[in-house]
Amino acid sequence: MRKIFDALIVGGGINGSSIAFQLAKRGCKVAVLDKGKIAGKASGAAAGILGAQTELTEDGPLFQLACKSRSMYQSLIPELEDLTQVHIGYQNKGVYKVAANKEEELVLKRLIESQQKADEQAEWFTIDDLIKREPFVSNKLRGAMYIPNDGQVQAYELSLAFAKASITLGAEIYEYTHVSDFILKEKKVYGVRTGLGELLADSVIVASGAWSREILERTGLSLPIIPVKGECFSVKIEKPLVQGTIFSHGCYIVPKQSGRLVVGATVKINSFDEKVTFGGISLLIEKAQNLVPEIAHAEWEGAWTGIRPQSADGLPFLGQHPACEGLYIAAGHFRNGILLAPATGELMADILEGKTEQPNPFELSRLECLVHSS
Ligand code: FAD
């Protein structure tokens, strides 16, 4: 097969599909290539928290991008659901970031102050206030930072919706299509080599999550991204135990619409291992019971893993390859790739169209300092 596109995207996780959606909307002839299934890796494993204020504790470019991306969900969800009929399960009931002791309480109170200064909503709930709203939460906790605007989605369904919407707008998706190399001549990209043959394009975007480093080695670039394994499990419940997401150090409980609770997530740095371990899941079970003791009576559903792509400085790479014309990178979203997907799609489409006016803090020009400092 030898086909010609405007843009080829290597990786059908949420970021690849979000970029495809934005490019297809702008009339670009685009294809997504994935070595496995759409959303078969981190994007299908994620708990789906849109935790701009929960996860990011410092104001700066990433916090700004995260808040922007979170706000994009308001119009994006109905648009994607109308186009695809996929139910994304978007919920906007907030996150309770709980404190287990006095020190954690002080840290959270300081965070509330700084987020309020950045014009974001957050407030402190004493344990009594918290239990009034969430009666099944343990009374051994001290209280919680309540973040009303951090919602959640079903991550797999959202990724699928991006992919299906792209197809509706003319994009092509090739699953089980491993990209083994780029077609490069004189530092310019002309396409990719796959098991299906060569595919040609003016632009190629690497959105291969934790595997981005591996494929980019072909261009001589050692992208500083490491794999961070995470394990999760889910249970089924007969009556709702929590309305909002309960988030603590090392464990969160996310209530899904279909009577499920998703509990995550372990953290194992530098690991591509995709096995679910007894040790990892038992630790999560213990932590979840400390947060919501009634969860002990829930019915077991299943457990899974995913590999998060962590960049060396914590910011995703969103921009042009430093040495190859026409080659772009959108990778390194670590714990927040679901949250950041709408803004990633928009920013990458703008970059490809040459529309970015302001300096882009996520571009790869920062790589030189990263490589030299590591
Ligand atoms: P991926 O989803 O990993 O997709 C990359 C794709 O590239 C894969 O499908 C892979 O098959 C493909 N690929 C790789 N190499 C090639 C190649 N050579 N040729 C073709 N295809 C290739 N984020 C949040 O915002 N909220 C959460 O609550 C949350 N919870 C998480 C919980 C867990 C347990 C984990 C693991 C992650 C969580 N995350 C969360 C993080 C989020 O899942 C990731 O940041 C995001 O999914 C990354 O998306 P991606 O598209 O960049 O990568």
Model pTM score: 0.97
User: So what's the pLDDT on residue 196?
Assistant: 85
pLDDT at 372: 45
Residue nearest to atom 12 of ligand 1 (CA): 11
Contact indicator for 33, 9 with CB cutoff of 8 Å: yes
Q: How far is the CA of 50 from the centre of ligand 1 (A)?
A: 15
Mutate-to-test residue for ligand 1 from 160, 317, 333, highest number of ligand atoms within 8 A of CB: 333
Predicted confidence at residue 370, as pLDDT, reads 58
Residue nearest to ligand 1 atom 47, measured at CA: 43
Query: Cα of 326 to ligand 1 centre, how many Å?
Result: 23
Cβ-based neighbours of 215, under 8 Å, separated by 6 or more: 10, 179, 206, 208
Could you tell which of 336, 344, 347 is best to mutate to test the pocket of ligand 1, judged by most ligand atoms within 8 Å of the CB? 336
Distance 164 CA to ligand 1 centre (A): 17
CATH of span 3-77+155-224+312-373: 3.50.50.60
The verdict on whether omega for the bond into residue 265 sits within 30 degrees of 0, i.e. cis, is yes
Q: What is the pLDDT of residue 369?
A: 57
- 92-149+227-311 placed in CATH 3.40.190.10: no
pLDDT less than 70: residues of the chain:
1-2, 369-374
| Residue spans per domain, the chain | 3-77+155-224+312-373, 92-149+227-311
Q: What local confidence, expressed as pLDDT, does residue 371 receive?
A: 54
Q: Is 151 in the pocket of ligand 1 (CB under 6 A)?
A: no
Q: Is the CB of 35 under 6 A from ligand 1?
A: yes
Contact 15 CB / ligand 1 (< 6 Å):
yes
339 lines ligand 1 (CB under 6 A): yes
- Identical fold between 3-77+155-224+312-373 and 92-149+227-311: no
Asked if residue 206 has its Cβ within 6 Å of ligand 1, the reply is no
User: What ipTM is given for this predicted complex?
Assistant: 0.99
Distance 99 CA to ligand 1 centre (A): 29
pLDDT at residue number 358: 81
